[in-house]
Amino acid sequence: MTTKYIIITGGVLSGLGKGIAAASIGHLLSSRMKIIPIKCDGYLNVDPGTMNPFEHGEVFVLDDGGEVDMDFGHYERFLGVRCSSSWNLTMGKVFDMVRQKERRGDYLGKTVQYIPHVTDIIKNHIFQIASREKPDLVIIEIGGTVGDIENELFLEAMRQIKEDVGRENIIYIHLTYVPIPHGVNEQKSKPTQQSVNLLKQRGIFPDIIIGRCSQFLTRKIKAKISSFCDVHPDAVITGLDVDDIYELPLIFEQEKLPEIIHKKLNIY
């Protein structure tokens, strides 16, 4: 089977739980597929090992000794895989690779630019992992929030990947926030609309939108998000606040997210 790709982005605000969402989606698809998770972080540190855990979160240490983002703890527990440190791609690592290639003369005297040289490094790194591991599905989580300057190059690389792997082999999932303002007691779609517009400005059109909310999304709000964001109403999924993160795959299954992914990627 041709390797499929799921790209997960986030909008409105940070800390919405893209890692948990990615791990939950992977868990629901992992019974019949070999899945590789990749996390792209926009910070210029090579890895989070020297970062303040109060600022960035607890560092997760892998079997190979790599110090990586805490989301890899979720990936390993939800997917039952042993991750590699190469699956955590930071902008610090990317720029380090670019510098090494430039010093070796790999660019043959060309002016080294963000596009195509940096974006090619990102894409080639992902394709090398896919070639080495031979997964059925690669789930790529883009850290941060759409609109952050730190992740612009990752988003551009994700846009380009569509042409490299074929539109039928990739889907984009966007995680947003659906607030219920105190006193109004009504789910609001405006932050989601604006976040999706920011994503579209970068050439990425989401196939599925997950709305993080304290309540299940109503039919009315799903229809409104669908209309303004150009996705099918069934592809607007509730990302419910839960006390136990292991409840989230059950909620995604209840919202029929696996079936939507199967249909869009033509798997099973």
- The amino acid occupying position 18 is K
Q: Is residue 128 predicted with pLDDT exceeding 90?
A: yes
CB atoms inside a 10 Å sphere around CB 245: 15
Angle at 22 between CA 129 and CA 31, to 5 degrees: 80
- Weakest-pLDDT range from 49-58, 159-168, 184-193, 199-208: 49-58
Q: Tell me the average pLDDT across 174-194.
A: 95
Q: Is residue 32 predicted with pLDDT exceeding 90?
A: no
Q: Is residue 244 predicted with pLDDT exceeding 80?
A: yes
Nearest-10 crossing angle of helices 18-29, 257-265: 70
Q: Is residue 123 predicted with pLDDT exceeding 90?
A: yes
Phi, psi of 128 (to 5 degrees): -65, -40
**pLDDT at residue 106, as a whole number:** 95
Report yes or no: 204 and 229 within 8 Å, Cβ to Cβ. Answer: no
225-239: per-residue pLDDT in tens?
A: 999 999 999 999 999
Rounded distance between C-alpha atoms, residue 239 and residue 83, angstroms:
25
Report yes or no: 25 and 184 within 8 Å, Cβ to Cβ. Answer: no
Query: Can you give the pTM of this predicted structure?
Result: 0.95
The domain ranges of the chain are 4-265
**pLDDT at residue 57, as a whole number:** 82
CA atoms within 13 A on the CB side of 142: 29
The DSSP bridge pattern shows strands 67-68 and 60-61 to be antiparallel
Report yes or no: 189 and 209 within 8 Å, Cβ to Cβ. Answer: no
Domain 4-265 has CATH 3.50.50.60: no
**Per-residue buried b or exposed e for 117-153, using 16+ beta carbons within 10 Å of the residue's own CB:** bbbebbbebbeebbeebebbbbbbbbbbbbbeeebbb
Rounded distance between C-alpha atoms, residue 167 and residue 259, angstroms:
18
Q: Is residue 54 predicted with pLDDT exceeding 90?
A: no
**pLDDT at residue 78, as a whole number:** 97
Q: Is residue 268 predicted with pLDDT exceeding 80?
A: no
Q: Is residue 1 predicted with pLDDT exceeding 80?
A: no
Q: Is residue 103 predicted with pLDDT exceeding 80?
A: yes
Q: Is residue 155 predicted with pLDDT exceeding 90?
A: yes
**pLDDT at residue 53, as a whole number:** 86
Quick one: pLDDT band at residue 134, thresholds 50, 70, 90?
Answer: very high
Rounded distance between C-alpha atoms, residue 155 and residue 121, angstroms:
13
Report yes or no: 212 and 20 within 8 Å, Cβ to Cβ. Answer: no
Percent of the chain with pLDDT over 90: 91
How far, CA to CA in Å, does 223 sit from each of 39, 211, 218, 220, 254? Answer: 31, 13, 9, 5, 18
Percent of the chain with pLDDT over 70: 100
107-118: per-residue pLDDT in tens?
A: 998 999 999 999
Report yes or no: 79 and 100 within 8 Å, Cβ to Cβ. Answer: no
Quick one: pLDDT band at residue 267, thresholds 50, 70, 90?
Answer: confident
The closest alpha carbon to 80, from 37, 122, 21, belongs to 37
Q: Tell me the average pLDDT across 113-142.
A: 97
**pLDDT at residue 55, as a whole number:** 80
Rounded distance between C-alpha atoms, residue 256 and residue 258, angstroms:
6
**pLDDT at residue 169, as a whole number:** 96
Quick one: pLDDT band at residue 91, thresholds 50, 70, 90?
Answer: very high
